Amino acid sequence: MLLRKITLEEFGAYRGKQSLDLTPKKNKPIILIGGLNGCGKTTLLDAIQLVLYGNRARCSGRGTKAYETYLRESINRKADPSRGSAITLEFTVMTGGHEHYYRLVRSWHISGKTLKEFLNVYVDETYGERVKAQRSAEPEGKFNRLLSEGWADHVESLLPLEIASLAFFDGEKIESLANPERAASVIESAVHSLLGVSTVQQLRNDLLALQRRQKLSEEEQHLLDNIRAQEAEREAVVSQYDIAHQELAHSRSELGKAQRKLDSLEKAFADEGGDLFTRRVELENDRKQALVRLAQVRTELTQLAAGPLPLLMVAPLLDDVRQQARIEQEAQQSAQVLEVLEERDRWLLELMPDATRAEVLKRLDDDRAERAAKTQLAVDLRLPHDALAQLTVLDELLQRDTQRSAQLLHSAAELAEHLDQLDRQLAGVPAQDKVEALQAARGEQIVEVTRCETTRDRATAKLEDLKRRREHVTTLLERAHKEFVRTKVKAEEVERVIKYSEKARDTLERFGSALLERHISRLEVAVLQSFKVLMRKQGLVRDLRIDTDKFILTLADADGEAIDPARLSAGERQLLAVSLLWGLMRVAGNRLPSVIDTPLGRLDSRHREHLVDRYFPNASDQVLLLSTDEEIDEYLLGRLEKSVAHTYTLVHDDTEFTTAVVEGYWWSAGASHAG
Amino acid sequence: MPVDHVRLSQPAKDRLSYLKRTTGVTQWNVLCRWALLLSLRDPSTPLVKDIVTDSNVEMSWRTFAGQYGDLYLALLKQRCVAIGEEPNDENIQRVLTVHVHRGIGYLGADKQMATVEGMVGAVVPT
């Protein structure tokens, strides 16, 4: 980085527009700016920092003031606050092998009661090429809005603030660096930022950030969660399925058990005449009916028995009676006929002639005698005259009753047989209470079997349901798994990124510590060398060590004994500080401009010579040297002159309280202007 | 009317009481008819001649013989004649009493006669 030009407008003591060309020349890195105390040397240093870093700038004039207040107060007292102040810094930066020309304009003014600040960045990216082509090229900066708005970030990549505060130092800073304890923090920050150690650290932090960014996106996380949820659900369903399966098996075996028990109960029941028992009432009803019918039959039989039926027993005797009755009837009839015949014979004899009368009479008498003989009964039972008729009726009745009796007897026999059978069946039916218990048990068992069947059916249904659900979940899971595979690829990638970034971070850490080690040792060498170059007492310090942990600088004498910094004089400590900064810049590679303000305060003439001869020309590619006439005096200017590219003097008008920049130094050309 | 009443002895009555239970025939007269005819079927003459009719079972001839009184009387007369006795009232009464009692004996002794089916079955060809 090379500072090209700085222009101050109404800034601090600087009235109007004041420009300084800061471009160094070949082998002339020094820009010497002279100024008496209070002329604005430090203001110039502040201006450079302010234009670059704005609010963050560590301006010596700001102190603890608010930035806005500082800006307000920085506007020249004679200037119009509504027009305000401006600082323009032009510089070139090597970016990617090309020299870019930057013009940075920071301006601010007061509008009403508020302060408005503007920062405009103009960049010419092709400047370097044109310079190569035609030596003297005019920069053609273009306004870059992006950089203007994001300058605070951009400047960190060009010239980090930490480094700038090292590169731009004044005598006070050197004074503070002379204190070993305060030096440690400067060394630490310098080593870290200037020497790239902080870059390594930054890289590591960036990697960490990358790692943290490498989380799965929300959607992917959602997918994973989804899969996990589904897996959990599937697991749950599967375990439920297993349980249901077991339950089903259990209910089946229960049912089998219950069925077997029922079977055995039924068998026992059948064995005990259970079937018959269930028919007992039926049988008994049958028996009752049969008995009723038998009773009816018997009643009828009894009625028949009360009739003529017993007379059948004496059928032969009745035949005799019939015979007798017939005989008696005939005898009676004969007796009646005989009477009729006697009368008729008498009538007939009277009519007959006597001749035949005797003959006829005799014959008639014989006939009558024969007939009369028929009326003579051997036995006369004096049966009623209707006895035959009675017997005939009796025969008919008996015939009828016999038939009826035969029927009834048949029925009675059948009924008796039926009753017998019923009785046998009833006898087969066991005692009621015994079967009752069995029957109750059987009834309960039937209920139990039904219950078991219901349970099994339910279990089956549940199992089916779970089966369907399991399949459903499995399908969903499969789908989710496909998604998951894609996600997993990503996840693995993430994992890989994390793994490798971890590895890289580890490497970087080792690299960082190695780099630090190396830088420290280089710094030690550089600082020691610088110190030896600057020191009058060459043999005082033999060795210099910087602790890599606490960054405390220790010196050792010829015997290797540590030198207490308190033993060093104030001037020597100042030299040590300068050599520390120099060493740092040398190790960093002289890429940055050094701005040194009042550097020679406490030094004796020998040391001043050393600085002027050995340090200032070699401090960096560009050295802005701000000095009083006492520090770089005529003698020293003579020694320095060959390395000086430009000289300016800050001239203060005591009546106007304004400073103007004049070319030349007090003892060089144009010094006549210098007050 | 040659016979007024039929009377039974005490043993006959006891036996008939038993028969009444077993056969279900609840009328004395019916059982007595059966007894008489059962005895008459046997052509032999009962050995017992004198029956002491000392029970309280007594029925009129009408009650005893019922609808077929003429035939019963004819049978009794016939038996009287058969044994060579004058069928007068006295003899008829005696024959009746003797045969009824012998018949009651037969009736009680025959197991078949212990039921009404047996009784009817004994006379009806099956």
Average pLDDT for B4-32:
87
Evaluate whether B15 touches B104 at the Cβ level (below 8 Å): yes
pLDDT of residue A672: 47
Burial class (CB in 10 A: 0-12, 13-18, 19+), A262: buried
Residue A377 in contact with partner chain B when CB distance is under 8 A: no
Compute CA distances A54 → A16, A48, A58, A158, whole Å. 21, 10, 9, 15
| CB < 8 Å to A309, chain B | 120, 123-124
Which residues of chain B have a CB within 8 Å of the CB of A305?
23, 25, 30, 34, 116, 119-120
Q: DSSP assignment of A302-336, as one string?
A: HHHHHTTGGGGGGHHHHHHHHHHHHHHHHHHHHHH
Contacts of A182 (CB under 8 A, 6+ apart): A176
* Six-digit token string for A665: 């130094």
Q: Two tokens at A427?
A: 């006898």
Residue of chain A with shortest Cα separation from B119: A305
A517-548, pLDDT tens digit by residue?
887 888 888 888 888 888 877 777 778 888 77
Contact with chain B for residue A303, Cβ under 8 A: no
Give A308 to chain B, closest Cα distance, Å.
Answer: 7
Which residues pair with residue A19 across a beta bridge? A7
Euclidean distance between CA atoms A482 and A380, whole angstroms: 137
Q: pLDDT (tens digit, 9 = 90+) per residue, A257-314?
A: 988 888 888 787 777 666 666 677 787 788 888 889 888 888 888 888 888 888 888 8
The CATH-assigned architecture of domain A216-265+449-508 is Orthogonal Bundle (1.10)
Query: Percentage of chain B surpassing pLDDT 70?
Result: 98
- The answer, for B27 touching chain A at a CB cutoff of 8 Å, is yes
Interface probe, candidates A317, A323, A404, chain B, greatest B C-beta count within 10 A: A317
Contact: A318, B75; criterion CB under 8 Å = yes
Q: Is B77 on the interface with A (CB under 8 A)?
A: yes
- Candidate from B37, B38, B121 with C-beta closest to A409: B121
Q: SS in 3 state form for A528-540?
A: HHHHHHHCCCCCC
Contact A593, A620 (CB under 8 A): yes
B83 to chain A, any CB pair closer than 8 A? The answer is: no
What separation in angstroms does the CA of A356 have from each of A343, A351, B2?
Answer: 18, 11, 52
Work out the minimum CA distance from B78 to partner chain A, whole angstroms: 7
Whole-number Cα distances in Å, A325 to A318, A319, A391, B74:
10, 10, 9, 9
**Contact between A405 and B124 using a beta-carbon 8 Å cutoff:** yes
Mind spelling out the 3-state secondary structure of B66-78? HHHHHHHHHHHHH
Alpha-carbon dihedral sign for residues A58, A61, A62, A68: negative
Residue in A381, A390, A406 closest to B124 by CB: A406
Tell me if B2 sits within 8 A of B90, measured CB to CB: no
- Strands A553-556 and A543-546 turn out to be antiparallel
Which pair of structure tokens corresponds to residue A377?
């009964």
Do residues B91 and B80 touch, judged by C-beta distance below 8 A? Answer: yes
Residue B88 touches chain A, beta carbons under 8 Å: no
- Put simply, whether B68 touches A (Cβ < 8 Å) is yes
A317 and B71 within 8 Å at the Cβ level: the answer is: no
Is the Cβ pair A394, B68 closer than 8 Å?
yes
Tell me: pLDDT of B26 over 80: yes
A158 touches chain B (CB under 8 A): no
How distant, in Å, are the alpha carbons of A237, A262, A427, A442, A451 from that of A456? 20, 17, 42, 20, 9
Distances (CA, A) of A519 to A110, A552, A620: 47, 14, 18
Rounded Cα distance between A511 and A499, Å, is 18
Nearest CA-CA distance, residue A266 and chain B, Å: 43
Q: Kindly state whether A391 is in contact with chain B, defined as any CB-CB distance less than 8 angstroms.
A: yes
d(CA A610, CA A601): 14
The letter for the amino acid at A39 is C
Q: Is the Cβ of A410 closer than 8 Å to some Cβ of chain B?
A: yes
For chain B, say whether A404 makes contact (Cβ under 8 Å): no
d(CA A331, CA A375) in angstroms, rounded, equals 4
**Residue B37 to residue A405, Cβ atoms within 8 A:** no
* Three-class SS state of A652: strand
Residue that has been written with the tokens 């009477």 in this structure: A339
Residue A564's SS3 state is coil
- Quote the CA–CA distance of A348 and A398 in Å, as a whole number: 50
ipTM of the complex in this document: 0.90
B chain contacts of residue A379, beta-carbon cutoff 8 Å? 81
Tell which phi-psi region holds residue B100, choosing left (phi > 0), alpha (psi between -120 and 50) or beta: alpha
Contacts of B81 in chain A (CB under 8 A): 379, 381
Are the CB atoms for A336 and A328 separated by under 8 Å? Answer: no
Extended beta strands in A502-629, E state: 543-546, 553-556, 562-563, 594-597, 623-627
For CA atoms B108, B114, B117, B121, give the dihedral sign: negative
Please tell me the distance in Å from A429's CA to the nearest CA on chain B: 29
User: In this structure, are residues A661 and A648 in contact, taking their beta carbons and an 8 Å threshold?
Assistant: yes
**How far does Cα A342 stand from its chain's mean position?**
153
Q: State the Cα–Cα distance between residues A215 and A373, nearest whole angstrom.
A: 161
The CA distance from A157 to A179, in Å, is 30
Nearest in space to B30 (alpha carbons), one of B21, B40, B20, B41? B20
Q: Give the model confidence (pLDDT) of B62-113 as tens digits.
A: 888 888 888 888 888 888 888 888 888 888 888 888 998 999 888 888 888 8
Q: Does B52 touch chain A (CB under 8 A)?
A: no
The H or E element that residue A7 is part of is: strand A2-9
- By Cβ distance, the residue of B37, B70, B126 closest to A310 is B37
For A94-147, the DSSP string reads EETTEEEEEEEEEEEEEETTEEEEEEEEEEETTHHHHHHHHSS-----EE-HHH
Burial class for B82, CB neighbours closer than 10 Å (0-12, 13-18, 19+): middle
Name, in order, each residue with C-beta under 8 angstroms of A368's C-beta and a sequence gap of 6 or more.
Answer: A338, A341, A342, A345
Residue A387 and residue B24: Cβ atoms within 8 Å? Answer: no
Do B74 and A383 count as a contact with CB atoms less than 8 A apart?
yes
- Look up residue A647 and give its DSSP letter: E
- Beta strands at A168-170 and A594-597: parallel, antiparallel or unpaired: parallel
Which chain A residues are within 8 Å of B34, Cβ to Cβ? 305, 310, 313
Look at A409 and B37 and tell me if their CB atoms are within 8 Å. Answer: no
Amino acid A86: pLDDT: 92
Put simply, whether the predicted model's pTM sits higher than 0.90 gets the answer no
Residue with tokens 């304004």: A658
| Cross-chain residue pair A406–B125, CB shorter than 8 Å | yes
Q: Is B86 on the interface with A (CB under 8 A)?
A: no
Contacts of A304 in chain B (CB under 8 A): 120
Rounded to whole angstroms, the Cα distance separating A332 from A325 reads: 10
Residues of A in contact with B75 (CB under 8 A): 314, 317-318, 321
Give me the residue from B23, B74, B117 closest to A381, CB to CB.
B74
Token pair recorded at residue A300? 């009828």
**Who's near A431: CB < 8 A, 6+ residues apart?**
none
Q: In this complex, is the C-beta atom of A389 within 8 Å of any C-beta atom belonging to chain B?
A: no
> What pLDDT shows up at residue A590?
56
Whether A315 contacts chain B with CB within 8 A = no
Find residues 243-302 of chain A whose CB sits inside 8 Å of chain B: 298-299, 301-302
Q: Which residues of B touch A406 (CB under 8 A)?
A: 124-126
Q: What is the pLDDT of residue A675?
A: 42
Could B70 and A298 be called an inter-chain contact, meaning their C-beta atoms sit closer than 8 Å?
Answer: no
Instruction: Look at chain B and count its residues.
Output: 126
Is the CB of B17 inside 8 Å of chain A's CB atoms? no
* Phi, psi at A542, each rounded to 5°: -100, -35
Which pLDDT value is given to residue A646?
87
Q: Identify the helix (H) or strand (E) that includes residue A35.
A: strand A30-35
> Going from the N-terminus, what domains does chain B have, and what CATH number goes with each?
3-120 (1.10.1220.160)
d(CA A422, CA A506): 108
Yes or no, beta carbons of B126 and A406 under 8 Å apart: yes
pLDDT less than 70: residues of chain A? 135-136, 171-172, 180, 194-196, 214-220, 272-278, 429-435, 488, 565, 589-590, 599, 601, 668-675
- On whether any CB of chain A is under 8 Å from the CB of B81, the answer is yes
pLDDT of residue A380: 74
- CB contacts < 8 A (A, B): 103
Asked if residue B43 lies in contact with residue A317, where contact means CB atoms within 8 angstroms, the answer is no
* A310 with B34: Cβ contact below 8 A: yes
Q: How many helices and strands, by DSSP H and E, does chain A display?
A: 19, 15
Every domain of chain A and the residues it spans: 216-265+449-508, 273-428
pLDDT at A215: 63
